[in-house]
A and B are shown apart, each in its own frame.
Chain A
Amino acid sequence: MATITEKTKEEVKEVVYSFFAEECEVDIEQINENTSIIKDLDGDSLMFLELIEIFKKKYNLDIELKVIGKYAVKHPVSTIGQLIEMQLLIIEHENRLLDIEP
């Protein structure tokens, strides 16, 4: 189980903002925590998948996609802020992501 530091939080935020700015061809200044991934950025599930792969490589994560899928069904993500929170949980808990639920 990884420890999430302030540096990790900053890194994840930077990667997510840069990723959506480039993929969705928008100015990074237009993105904030409340930006809707679908309504404002026209994002899609392939982008979500690509982002997961980026973080899997960056942090050498051991996590199955279907663990993330099961978690996402119960905790749907619609904004950039929620997505960052989920990515931090994935980095912290990896394949034990579902264990953090009550």
Chain B
Amino acid sequence: MSDNQLAFIFPAFTSDYTNHPGHGIPGFALQFDTFLRTASNKVDPLLKEFTFTGNTFLEDELLTQYLTYIYSCASASALRNLGFSPSMNAGYSMGIYASLFDAGSVSFETGLELIRLAFQSLKMAISSASFGMVSVIGLSGRDIHHLIDQYDLRVEITNQNASPSFVLSGFLDDVMAFMKLAMEEGALHTRDLGVSIPYHASFLKEGAKHFGKLISSLEIKQPENKIISMIDQTLLLTPSIIRQELINNLYYPLNWFRTKQVMLEHQVSVFVECGPSKGLTKNSKFVEGNFRFYSLNSFPLNQI
């Protein structure tokens, strides 16, 4: 490894497993199978039926979260087995669980349990109300706030991916209304993210508090490398800070754009997206700086 400061980045979910980028990483397949078997036994036997080209459970939010976690943990483990050690890592949204596993802060099984408890707590908290999330590209934060205020929409900005790229969460009717209004306002693109939980929004505060009680007895250790918060870009240095971050991560807005900038300030120069998609890699081009950002299939194993 040269002087390049390496960071592993863990995504939230994927919407496609075909042509997954990790298949060329030596050792990935074995790690993935091992983790998949463990998860099948621990949280849901249906996971045994997963295949990359067939049964991918994309319509099931919880199973998709498990699978993205399994994939992320397997790819990071394979890279570590090849000698790559990140100086820092970050979990994008629900990618926080894989980032904690990778940093040695939680066991693989505890990560699965965190995902299960978070999902169940949030589902219970939103009860029968319909929620959703949307991404919007091409409007500024000010334009978006203006639309929300003008039409009194029950939606919140819950992440900024790039200067003109945001994610919003809220009541489904208002999310749909926002999509239409945003296009009329001049957005280049909007997309329904197809989830039923308004992640990172204040609507989830009670569910997050309940989650906090449920995880109080789970073992969380001091991380072996730096983990950065996507909420306020501080370092998650101790188990108690991590425990609070896990709770806050469910109902506080994130800022991925700012997180990347702060990681650059920490001298990170090489990023690897440890997950089944290339979404964060594509998104990385809107941050200025001297760095390289790779998806798993483009990561030059012999040149870093």
Contact = CB atoms under 8 A, between A and B. Distances in A.
B260 to A, nearest CB: 15
A66 B187 contact: yes
A41 interface: no
A37 to B, nearest CB: 13
A73 B182 CA distance: 11
A66 B143 contact: yes
Majority secondary structure of chain B interface residues (helix, strand, loop or mixed)? mixed
B143 A73 contact: no
A47 B281 CA distance: 12
A68 B188 contact: yes
A65 interface: yes
Contacts of A67: 186
A49 B188 contact: yes
Contacts of B184: 73
B283 A46 contact: yes
Nearest to B190: A45
Interface residues of A, number: 17
Contact of B186 (A45, A46, A53, A68): A68
A61 B138 CA distance: 16
Contacts of B283: 46
In this complex, which of A44, A48, A49, A70 has the most chain B Cβ atoms within 10 angstroms of its Cβ?
Answer: A49
Contacts of B143: 66
Nearest to B191: A45
B138 A68 contact: yes
A99 to B, nearest CB: 15
A73 B188 CA distance: 8
Contact of A44 (B139, B164, B282): B282
Given A65-B139, A66-B138, A69-B183, A45 B285 contact: no
Contacts of A47: 282
B183 A73 contact: yes
A45 B185 contact: no
Contact of B138 (A44, A50, A69): A69
A72 interface: yes
Contacts of B185: 66, 69-70
Contacts of A45: 137-138, 188-189
A44 B189 CA distance: 9
Interface of A: 44-50, 53, 64-70, 72-73
29 contacts: A44-B282, A45-B137, A45-B138, A45-B188, A45-B189, A46-B165, A46-B282, A47-B282, A48-B188, A48-B189, A49-B137, A49-B138, A49-B162, A49-B188, A65-B138, A65-B139, A65-B164, A66-B138, A66-B185, A66-B186, A67-B186, A68-B186, A68-B188, A69-B138, A69-B139, A69-B183, A73-B183, A73-B184, A73-B186
Which A-B residue pairs are the 9 nearest by beta carbons?
Answer: A66-B186, A45-B189, A69-B186, A70-B186, A65-B138, A69-B138, A69-B188, A45-B137, A46-B282
Interface of B: 137-139, 143, 162, 164-165, 183-189, 282-283, 285-286
Given A69-B138, A69-B188, 15 more contacts: A44-B282, A45-B137, A45-B188, A45-B189, A46-B165, A49-B165, A49-B188, A65-B138, A65-B139, A65-B164, A66-B138, A66-B139, A66-B185, A69-B186, A70-B185
